[in-house]
Amino acid sequence: MLSTSAGLKALRAAVPVLIAVFLFARAPPPASAQDTALEFAVKATYLYKFAPFVEWPPQTFRSATDAITLCVVGDDPFGAMLDQAVAGQHVGDRPIALRRMPMAVRGASCQIMFIAGSRAQPVADALAAVRGTPVLTVTDRSPESRAKGIVNFVIQDNRVRFEIDNQAAAQDRLVISSKLLSLAVLGRANE
Amino acid sequence: MKEPATFIKLWRLGPPIALATVVFLIVAGAAMIFYNEQAYRQQKLDEVGVQARILSSTVSAALVFDDRPAAQEYVNAMAANFEVRAAAIYDQNGALFVDYVRGNAEMPPAQLPPDAPRIENGRLVVTAPVIEGQSALGTVYLQTITEPFARRLERYGIIGLLVFMASLIVAVLGAAQVALGRVNQELESRAAALADANRQLQRQIQERELVQEALRQSQKMEAIGQLSGGIAHDFNNLLTIVMGNLQLLQKRLAEGRTDVAQYVEFAMDGLNRAANVTQRILAFSRRQPLAPNPVKLSRLTTEMGDLLRQSVGAGIAVETRLAADWWTLCDENQMENVILNLAINSRDAMPEGGKLVIETADLHLARPEAPFADAPPGDYVRLSVIDNGAGMSEEVRRRAIDPFFTTKPQGQGTGLGLSMIFGFIQQSKGYFHIDSKLGEGTRVIMLLPRYQGDGAVDDAAAPAPAASVARSQDRPAKKSTVLVVEDEELVRTLVVETIRDEGFTVIERADGTSALDVLNSEVEIDLLLSDVRLPGANGYKLAEIGMARRPQMKVLLMTGFTQDPIPENLARAGIIMLYKPYKLGDLVVYANQLLKAKRDPATP
């Protein structure tokens, strides 16, 4: 436990430094393996950080200490990085639970769902599977793609930003904080 | 006396109270300033804290998702508040994320300062945690300016000024109280001194009154002593004369000698003089029996001319200035005595010769005038007797009318002359005044009220004096019966013997009761001769009852007390009053007159 905790701390300390390095790298992205690793490390931390800015319908949780479940659907791009980022994190009194699943299933009791897609179930199918249920879907697709989650990661000025489809969120009975909306890249266009 | 003492104590408490009030005011002012400062700080802290919390809640997402431009926007928005000098956001690890600095203000430190909130050098530093959904995400830092010290000083300066003014007022009041208290104390001590002086004065007045009362008493005693001493002296002399002559008479009779007439004469002379003395005393005591008649003083004086000139002698010129024409009412014989006495006094004051003036004048007093301030306004006749003799000193002048007071050598004056005159004038309702200075003569002035009643007629003959009873030589028929009532045995014996000598039948009684028995009996009585004051029934009562029963009976009353006047009804009935001491001859004359009138009612 002790070693795990120390590792976590090191990572947490490293993230802003990594971000700073990432931010001030003025050169066009060489799309190296290192860059990709850094990008996914940032996305991994962002995933659970969305939780405080999202309001789920009241019947979603049975008690105030129920965990918020973060599901990774399809081909997992994070690996152990995500486990490390989530480990020990809380949103208020709620712990973060991490679950990986090959396919999106309706009623799988996920509150946040990162849909990577797979051969068996492309992103669009997975999104369709949970549409209408209170799940914050997150995708990592090009902005031009038609099949995107409520939140979609984009790279802007060499930084990890995100789009938010507030209309889709509303259809899924999710309320997203205006603070989060104000940071979204194209969210403003959707309003 | 207790109240002023506590009052003074209260006044003395003034200064300490004022001082305490000033101290209290200063302490209260300082406390107010301190409290204000604290409240101001707290208020500022609260204000800035609220701003920090607002910033922290808006910036949370930007901090979480590392959106520096968005965070910078939020922080820069703080510039709208000109009080904010600097603003910054620190991340979860306390590292500076974004900051804003106005002008040359102090930069926020690179690492989160641990000691916020704090106020130093007019700067207020406040921090607030960035929390989203109960997770601490970072910290907001705000640095503002506080109100400039000078402005705060100004604000507190007003409070200080107010405290100063209030203290000044209290101090002035305290000082005024001290001054007032001092003045008050002085006033009180003066009032006390005044009250003391007043008490002393009252005591002195009381003492003086006592002394004056004692003086009056002693003067009265002196006057009484002088009076009684004078009377005793005169009477002793006269009694010596009477007793000596009677003893000689007794001795000579025992020797069988018959040439004793001179002793009887001398004794009678002494007795006459004694009767004269008592007459004068009665005159002084204003109780002599008077027979007032209308009199013109001018005519009276004229008629006395020869007598006056003879009395004063050749060395003195007598001048009369007789202007008075009004009548007065007085006893003519006594008035003659008055003028004669005054003339003789003047003669004695002018042994080397001089001038005597007798003056009469009519006088109308419109209002009381000195020296007759007590005379009411009206018409008066003034009689003045003036000489240019030795005069009198003021002391002598004032005592001149005291009985038995005399300046003449022993044996020359009785000291009763002026007092008799004074008594007579007063009894005649007049006023008397002596005006004299030593060496400048004497002026005696008398005022008598004008008389305008019956008898004030200018007929040729003067009214007949009452006292001059015609001595009738007619002898009444013998054997008239006379009832003599007298309790004093010697007097009764004398009277009875005299009456018997006249040939009357006499019944004698010693008291009123037995006399009444006689009067109520059938015995015939022609004349009642009675004393006034009697045991049993008095003379008036005897006369009244007797005359009721015997209308024809005549009454002759005798009395030694002149304050016994004849009652009105008895006077009308023709009763005659004889005043003791009377001459036995007068008694016989009156008795005969009454009995004659009884026999012959036509001639009263």
List the structure tokens of B23. 């101290």
Tell me the nearest-neighbour CA distance from B64 into chain A, angstroms.
Answer: 7
Element (H, E) at B432: strand B431-436
Q: What is the pLDDT of residues A110-137, one digit of tens each?
A: 999 999 888 888 999 999 999 889 999 9
**Where are the alpha helices (H) located in B255-412, listed in sequence order?**
261-284, 297-312, 332-349, 394-399
Contact A179 B95 (CB under 8 A): no
CA B173 – CA B163 distance, rounded (Å):
15
The answer to whether the Cβ–Cβ distance between A52 and B64 falls below 8 Å is yes
pLDDT at A144 over 60: yes
Q: What is the pLDDT of residues B499-523, one digit of tens each?
A: 888 888 899 998 988 999 999 888 8
**Per the domain annotation, does A91 fall within a domain?**
yes
Between positions 75 and 134 of A, the ones with CB within 8 A of B are 90-93
Query: Could A52 and B132 be called an inter-chain contact, meaning their C-beta atoms sit closer than 8 Å?
Result: yes
Peptide bond into B117 cis (omega under 30): yes
3-class secondary structure, B386: strand
Residue A13 CB coordination number (10 Å): 13
Nearest residue to B446 via CA among B395, B385, B370, B397: B385
Give the pairing type, strands B378-387 and B354-365: antiparallel
Classify residue A92: in a domain, yes or no. Answer: yes
Residue B19 backbone phi and psi in degrees, to 5: -60, -45
Is pLDDT at A141 greater than 90 in this prediction?
A: no
User: CB distance A183–B62 less than 8 Å?
Assistant: yes
Rounded-to-10 torsion of CA A19, A25, A28, A33: -50
Parent domain of A33 = 4-183
By Cβ distance, the residue of A91, A159, A179 closest to B58 is A179
**B95 in contact with A at a CB cutoff of 8 Å?**
yes
CA distance B521 to B483: 12
Q: Is A22 on the interface with B (CB under 8 A)?
A: no
Please tell me the total count of domains within chain A. 1
d(CA B65, CA B554): 169
B60 CB neighbours in chain A (<8 A) are: 52, 179
Distance from B29 to chain A by nearest Cα, in Å? 50
Task: Examine the pLDDT at A17 and tell me if it is beyond 60.
Answer: no
Name the residue facing B134 among A42, A49, A92 (closest C-beta): A92
User: What are the backbone dihedrals phi and psi of residue B369, each rounded to the nearest 5 degrees, phi first?
Assistant: -130, 145
Residue A62 is assigned to a structural domain of this protein: yes
User: Per the domain annotation, does A179 fall within a domain?
Assistant: yes
Predicted pLDDT at A24: 45
Q: Is residue A58 part of a domain?
A: yes
* Closest residue of chain A to B56, computed from CA coordinates: A179
Pick the residue from chain B with its C-alpha nearest to A15. Answer: B66
SS (H, E, C) chain A: CHHHHHHHHHHHHHHHHHHHHHHCCCCCCCCCHHHHHHHHHHHHHHHHHCHHHEECCHHHCCCCCCCEEEEEEECCCCCHHHHHHHCCCEECCEEEEEEEECCCCCCCCCCEEEEEECCCCCHHHHHHHHCCCCCEEEECCCCCCCCCCCEEEEEECCEEEEEECHHHHHHCCCEECHHHHHHCCCHHHHC
Query: In the structure encoding, which two tokens stand for residue B248, read together?
Result: 């000689």
State the angle between helix axes of B2-64 and B68-77 in degrees (0 to 180), rounded to the nearest 10: 160
- A189: in domain: no
Q: What is the pLDDT of residue B6?
A: 59
Looking at residue B449, what is its pLDDT? 93
pLDDT at res. A12: 55
- How many CA atoms, within 13 angstroms, populate the side-chain half-sphere of residue A108? 25
Nearest CB to B135 within list A46, A52, A182: A52
User: What's the pTM value of the predicted model, to 2 decimals?
Assistant: 0.41
User: With contact defined as beta carbons under 8 Å apart, do B356 and B386 qualify?
Assistant: yes
Phi-psi region of B503 (alpha: psi -120 to 50; beta: other; left: phi over 0): left
User: Directed axis angle between helix A2-23 and helix A33-49, to 10°?
Assistant: 110
**How far is the C-alpha of A113 from the C-alpha of A104, rounded, in Å?**
9
Q: Indicate yes or no: CB of A183 within 8 angstroms of CB of B67.
A: yes
**Distance between CA atoms of A43 and A141, rounded to whole angstroms?**
13
Question: For residue B601, what pLDDT is reported?
Answer: 59
CATH code: domain of residue A31: 3.40.50
Contact A16 B65 (CB under 8 A): no
Tell me what pLDDT residue B186 has: 93
Pick out chain B residues at pLDDT < 50: 1-2, 459-477, 603-604
Q: Is residue A138 part of a domain?
A: yes
Query: Chain B contacts of A21, Cβ < 8 Å?
Result: none
Using CA atoms, how far apart are residues B419 and A107, in angstroms rounded to an integer? Answer: 162
Closest by CA to A67, choosing from A93, A86, A45, is: A93
Strand B431-436 versus strand A151-156 pairing type: unpaired
A81 touches A45 (CB < 8 A): no
**Is A29 part of the contact surface with chain B (CB cutoff 8 Å)?**
no
**φ and ψ of B353, to 5 deg:** 90, 165
Output the pLDDT for position B603: 45
What strands, in cross-sheet order, belong to the sheet with B135-145? B96-101, B84-91, B135-145, B123-132, B118-120
Cα–Cα distance, B271 to B589 (Å, whole number): 20
Closest CA to B439 of B394, B385, B402: B394
- Residues B465/B291, Cβ–Cβ less than 8 Å: yes
Contacts of residue B133 in chain A, CB cutoff 8 Å? 51-53, 91-92
pLDDT at A26: 42
The reply to whether B82 touches chain A by the CB within 8 Å rule is: no
Confirm if B563 and B287 have CB atoms less than 8 A apart: yes
Task: Report B:48-77 residues touching A (Cβ under 8 A).
Answer: 58, 60-62, 64-68, 70
Q: How many CB atoms lie within 10 A of CB B390?
A: 18
Residue B105's SS3 state is: coil
Cβ <8 Å between B93 and A19: no
Q: Which of A16, A159, A183 sits opposite B91 (nearest CB)?
A: A16
Question: For residue A10, is it within any domain?
Answer: yes
Nearest to A162 by CA among A176, A178, A177, A143: A143
Residue B93 and residue A53: Cβ atoms within 8 Å? no
CA distance B115 to chain A (A): 24
